[in-house]
Amino acid sequence: MAVIEAIYLTKSFGGADAVPVLDGINLSIEAGEVFGYLGPNGAGKTTTIRVLLGLLRPTRGSVRLFGQEPGESDALRARMGVLMENSGLDDRMSAQQSLHFHARLYGVADPAAKIEYLLGFVGLADKRDAKIGTFSTGMKRKLGLARAIVHDPELLFLDEPSAGLDPEAQVMVRELLQELAESHRMTVFINSHHLDEVQRLCSRIAILHRGRIRANDRVEALRRGGAASRLEVRLRERAQAARAAELLDRPSETGDVRIDGATVVLTGDGFDAPEVAAKLVHAGLQIEEVVRPVKSLEDVYFEIVRDEEVQA
C-alpha cells in the first residue's frame, strides 16, 4: 500500500470556468521514500500539500494517506508531521515550551529527553528559554522542523524546509532528513526550490508546471535523459564520425544513432561502451572520448519548464 496516493487530483478555485490550480495529478509514494516536488512559483505545489493534508477538498479525484482519506481521524493526523513555509509558531512561547506543547498535543510520553536532543541537533540548545518572537527566520525554520518530528511521525510534509537557512543549517537539515528516511523509514514529501538539496536528498521527484505533472521519475533516470541510456563517442574527425555512425547503426533494433559534428550520439538500450569502442578501433577509427553524459537536476528542471512554456 502506498503511503501517499493521489488519483486524477484536480483542484479549482472559483466557478466552473476557473482554470484548475491542479489538473489531474497522479502520485504514488511508498514508505521510506524521500520525494521531491518541484515547480515554479504558482505551479500548485503548496495547494497539493494542503489537499493531501485535508485542509482543502479536491474538486475532482481522490487522495489517500495510509489508505485513508486525509482528515478522516485524529489517529491519522498523529502519523504525520508538517512544516509549512509559514512555520506558524507562537512568538510568545519559548522554544522549549513550543516543543513541549506539541509533544503533549500528540500524546508523547515523557518528551523531555527527545526535546533536548532535537534542540541540540538543530542548534538551538542555548536558545531553549528564549522567546520565539526574538528568533531569526532561519532559527524559526529550525524550530519548526524540530516541532514537526517531535512525535516521530511516519510521514513528513515539508514546504521549503531550507528557506532562510544558511549553508551550514542546510547541511544539518539534509543530514537529519537522510537519517529519518534511512533509520526510521520515515516517508518525506518535500516542496523545494533548492535543486541541489533535492538532488542530494530525494530518490524520486515530480516536476509540476501549470497544475500538471510534467515529469515523475527517479532522479538518476531524469538526469540521464529518462529510461533510455545515452552514449557519446567523439572521433578525431567529422568524416570518421560519419563512418562510425554507419558501423553502429542498428535499423532493425530500438535506439537511435545521430551525428553532431565529430561526435556520434547513441540513445537507447544495448549500447555498451567497451563494445562500441572496440568495434570502432577495430575499424581503424580514432576515438578521442567515450562518455555517458549526466545532466544536473537544474538542467533537467529548466529544460522541462522551458519546453512547457514554449508549447503553451
CATH number of residue 88's parent domain: 3.40.50.300
Confirm whether 279 is domain-assigned: yes
Digit-coded pLDDT (tens) for 141-176: 889 999 999 999 999 999 888 877 788 878 888 888
Same domain membership, residue 287 and residue 166: no
DSSP string, 261-309: TTEEEEESTT--HHHHHHHHHHTT--EEEEE-----HHHHHHHHHHHHH
pTM for the predicted model, two decimal places: 0.79
Asked if residues 207 and 236 have their Cβ atoms less than 8 Å apart, the reply is no
Residues 6+ apart with CB under 8 A from 225: 267, 295
Average pLDDT over residues 276-287: 92
Asked if residues 149 and 187 have their Cβ atoms less than 8 Å apart, the reply is no
Structural domain containing residue 208: 4-223
pLDDT band at 227 (very low <50, low <70, confident <90, very high): very low
Domains: count for the chain: 2
Average pLDDT over residues 177-185: 80
What CATH number is given to the structural domain containing 262?
3.30.70.100
Same domain membership, residue 237 and residue 160: no
Q: Report how far residue 7's alpha carbon sits from residue 83's, in angstroms, rounded to the nearest whole number.
A: 24
Confirm whether 306 is domain-assigned: no
Confirm whether 150 is domain-assigned: yes
Confirm whether 136 is domain-assigned: yes
Average pLDDT over residues 208-222: 89
Average pLDDT over residues 194-198: 83
Same domain membership, residue 239 and residue 136: no
Average pLDDT over residues 277-295: 88
Which of 223, 247, 274 corresponds to the end of one domain? 223
Same domain membership, residue 121 and residue 259: no
